Amino acid sequence: MLKRARLTYSLVATLVAWQISTAYAQVGDPTLRTDHPQYAGEGAFQTVADCVKFAVNGKQPLTEQEQAIAVYNWLLTHQWHLASPQEFCSPGRQPDTNAGHEDSIVYDAARARFSYGYGLCGTVHAWNEPYWQAAGFAARRRAFPGHTNSEIQYGGTWHAFDTDMAGLLFRQDGIVAGYEDIIADPTLAGSVKAPVPHYPFAWPGDFNGMKKGWLQVAKEPNKWYRMYNGGYECQPGIVNLRAGETFTRWFDPDHFGGPTKRRFWHHQPGGPFRDWTFANNGQPRHDGREHNARGNASYSNGEFVYQPDLAKAQFAKLGDKFSVTFTHWSPYVICGDPVDDANPMTGRATDGLIVSGKLHGEVQVDVSPDQGQTWTTIENPQLPLDLTERVKGRNGWHVRLLAAEPSSINEIKFTTTTQVCQAIYPRLRPGGSQVDYRAAARGVVAVLPNFGLAEEEVGKFEDVSRRSSNLAYRGRSAQSRLAYETTNNKPASTVFPIVSQHPLVEVRAAIRYQVRVPPPQGHDYCLEVSTDAGKTWQTFAKADIPKDNEFSSGWLAGAVNIADAKKNQALVRVTLYAGGHKTGLIDAQFYGIYEQPSSSTMKVEYGWLEAGKLKTHTESIPVGTQPHTWKIPTDDKIVDDFVRLSASRE
């Protein structure tokens, strides 16, 4: 029943708003890692550093090139070529993978790793930059005839590592060749080294096409732009399950009822799919016509089901009404079942967020896709209520229920369906599998500014009082790329608060900045954090823009540990300086990671098929137990079906 309860207040950015805690027990940051040789799950791939460690594990000691090829092979089996994913990164534009909206493309390697795993050449090579950097290599993208390539640096020179077309070429000394090597010796355009992949797709079509392209590079050596800072990692790969919440990952995209019931976030009949790929085919190998690059890559789904205990909910008084707000956030993008079976993006979609339950009387339902910065009231709501159109393409939602006595909320349940990158699913190993469980007791506060808001509303995400006088808010739209622009040639800055109900242990931030070509000397784009209300500041990320950069924007991302401060609020200051020229801020993303002890027991259930029959195994994990390891008896031939995490109500 809807009844008065004690009120909870929280500051969201600089706006005082109601934030209602709806559950006390929870399990923070539960992850699974199996002993599958390639697809061990989020417990192995939570960060780019984890991925690099997995790629080279057991292969020490390695030369720089051996390490690079190990990372290269990992990327080949975890990414594949398709239209680049798009999200609501550009206010005023509806994402659509069939449209070329560059500013809507996802460039965060973490978002890509958890929800997608596919993209076009320029996108995947941007994602690859933080992986290469985690492995100790400088990285950049390079223009190429009809393509965008990638180079990394070791041994004092640059080397071309193309994971999109899956090809490496070698110098006579056995070192991977780069642009300058092939320009100096065009015969290297056909210099391969089996079993290392050398453009196997549609063999020999792609090989011949790339060879022709390399010969053009050698013939016109000054045309091929060098592009730095195109990709980054920022979004935390953290799930937090509330008491009574379940998170099920379904490996097969046909789980919901076949091809006409698929739920995805991509504009393509049947959803994202690729058969020319090394994914799901073991260690990449290629020797002329012989290769294992004819794979079968698609996507999986995640399903969050949350039925809060209303007896423990807290309600706020808003005028003559009482309200309660429920929230969801995960690293997986919310998807939907497209009505036309092809386009859930600009077309209509269903079953991404379903609200069901029992309401009595007149209950108002409001929904927000942007952490409460904007709200839409649903007219005449009747349960079950499909809110997919309001939240698809996002990683979270807020749903607010308001009513006056004698109306009541008797029961409420939220079912959120997401797209899951197939390569992040923690797959079982045939012939017996080991599973490692860990719960790091962490949660996430996402602060993703809606730069489509008017100037008078920016206090919802910005501390306007700390904005320098020479920085003007422009607001982003389909016609305006910049969120902020400097009004003179001097350094400018502004501040974004991150507020949590629990002490913050880490802050992550990423910005996309405008930069001149060539970059001017003395430029300064940086991120700073303060945990003492702006009295002192600590720099945690500073842009490194090489002199030969030929790309007019860049991403700067960083993370900083602030656990010792034991504060629920942190400030992030963004500084923009183009070395005596005007500049601007294009985009910004902020995350706070908080620590909260797990207080629910966890049940982990695996399902798989043997000879077409469903097999299951359930493991119960007591409160606070981590890590926890167990064995699952599997046959020599299995098909992954589902894995479910369930947090108890205790």
* Dist. CA 344–CA 263, nearest whole Å: 8
Structure tokens at 174: 């056995």
* Residue 95 preceded by cis peptide, ω within 30: no
Give pLDDT, residue 11. 31
Q: How many CB atoms lie within 10 A of CB 542?
A: 13
Confidence of residue 14 (pLDDT cuts 50, 70, 90): very low
CB 290 within 8 A of CB 192: no
Instruction: List phi, psi (to 5°) of 70.
Output: -65, -45
The single residue listed with the structure tokens 């656990």 is 563
CB 215 within 8 A of CB 620: no
Partnered with residue 321 across adjacent β-strands are: 318
The answer, yes or no, to whether residue 6 has pLDDT greater than 80, is: no
Mind listing the pLDDT tens digit for each residue in 421-447? 999 999 999 999 999 999 999 999 999
Give pLDDT, residue 18. 33
The answer, yes or no, to whether residue 9 has pLDDT greater than 90, is: no
CA distances for 596 relative to 444, 457, 498, 502, 503, angstroms? 11, 31, 17, 7, 8
Structure tokens at 288: 């002329």
Q: How many CB atoms lie within 10 A of CB 296?
A: 12
Mind listing the pLDDT tens digit for each residue in 562-590? 999 999 999 999 999 999 999 999 999 99
CB 434 within 8 A of CB 630: yes
170's CB contacts (< 8 A; 6+ apart) are 176, 177, 188, 191, 192, 193, 196
Pairing between β-strand 118-119 and β-strand 80-81 as defined by DSSP bridges: parallel
Structure tokens at 598: 């797990």
Give pLDDT, residue 405. 85
Domain 37-227 has CATH 3.40.50: no
Confidence of residue 314 (pLDDT cuts 50, 70, 90): confident
Instruction: List phi, psi (to 5°) of 40.
Output: -85, -10
* Dist. CA 128–CA 576, nearest whole Å: 25
Alpha-carbon Rg for the chain, nearest whole angstrom, is 25
Give pLDDT, residue 316. 84
Is 122 in a helix, a strand, or coil?
A: helix
User: Taking phi first (over 0 means left), then psi (-120 to 50 degrees means alpha), and beta for anything else, what does residue 350 get?
Assistant: beta
Q: How many CB atoms lie within 10 A of CB 339?
A: 12
Give pLDDT, residue 580. 95
Confidence of residue 20 (pLDDT cuts 50, 70, 90): very low
Mind listing the pLDDT tens digit for each residue in 545-560? 999 999 999 999 999 9
Work out the average pLDDT over 600-604. 94
Mind listing the pLDDT tens digit for each residue in 224-249? 999 999 999 999 999 999 999 999 99
CB 516 within 8 A of CB 578: yes
Is 541 in a helix, a strand, or coil?
A: strand
The single residue listed with the structure tokens 């100790």 is 136
Give pLDDT, residue 519. 96
Q: How many CB atoms lie within 10 A of CB 287?
A: 14
Give pLDDT, residue 380. 84
CB 550 within 8 A of CB 227: yes
Nearest alpha-carbon partner for 197 in 185, 210, 183, 187: 210
Mind listing the pLDDT tens digit for each residue in 343-359? 999 999 999 999 999 99
Q: Where do the domains of the chain lie?
A: 9-30+242-264+292-441+598-647, 37-227, 443-595
Helices (H), 392-505: none
Give pLDDT, residue 7. 25
Give pLDDT, residue 473. 98
pTM above 0.85, yes or no: yes
* Dist. CA 467–CA 534, nearest whole Å: 12
Is 598 in a helix, a strand, or coil?
A: coil
Structure tokens at 638: 């299995």
CB 439 within 8 A of CB 361: no
Q: Which helix H or strand E contains 356, and what residues bound it? A: strand 353-360
Nearest alpha-carbon partner for 415 in 308, 323, 312, 315: 308
Q: Which helix H or strand E contains 117, and what residues bound it? A: none
Structure tokens at 203: 């063999």
Partnered with residue 337 across adjacent β-strands are: 350
CB 35 within 8 A of CB 434: yes
* Dist. CA 410–CA 1, nearest whole Å: 5
The answer, yes or no, to whether residue 625 has pLDDT greater than 90, is: no
* Dist. CA 503–CA 488, nearest whole Å: 38
Confidence of residue 4 (pLDDT cuts 50, 70, 90): very low
- Three state DSSP letters for 313-346: CCCEEECCEEEEEEEEECCCEECEEECCCCCCCC
* Dist. CA 604–CA 601, nearest whole Å: 10
* Dist. CA 630–CA 647, nearest whole Å: 18
Looking at every residue in the chain, the average pLDDT score rounds to 94
Is 202 in a helix, a strand, or coil?
A: coil
CA distances for 31 relative to 40, 293, 305, 382, angstroms? 11, 30, 18, 36
DSSP string covering 58-102: T--S--HHHHHHHHHHHHHHH-EESSPPB-S-STT----TTS--G
Instruction: List phi, psi (to 5°) of 94.
Output: -85, 125
Cite the beta strand spans of 404-478 per DSSP E: 408-421, 433-439, 442-447, 471-473
* Dist. CA 299–CA 286, nearest whole Å: 25
Mind listing the pLDDT tens digit for each residue in 61-120? 899 999 999 999 999 999 999 999 999 999 999 999 999 899 999 999 999 999 999 999
Nearest alpha-carbon partner for 511 in 592, 591, 586: 586
CB 357 within 8 A of CB 410: yes
Structure tokens at 31: 């992850």
The CATH number of 443-595 is 2.60.120.260
Confidence of residue 649 (pLDDT cuts 50, 70, 90): confident
235's CB contacts (< 8 A; 6+ apart) are 108, 110, 111, 114, 331, 395, 508, 589, 591
* Dist. CA 530–CA 515, nearest whole Å: 26
CA distances for 305 relative to 55, 302, 351, 381, angstroms? 34, 10, 12, 20
* Dist. CA 390–CA 586, nearest whole Å: 24
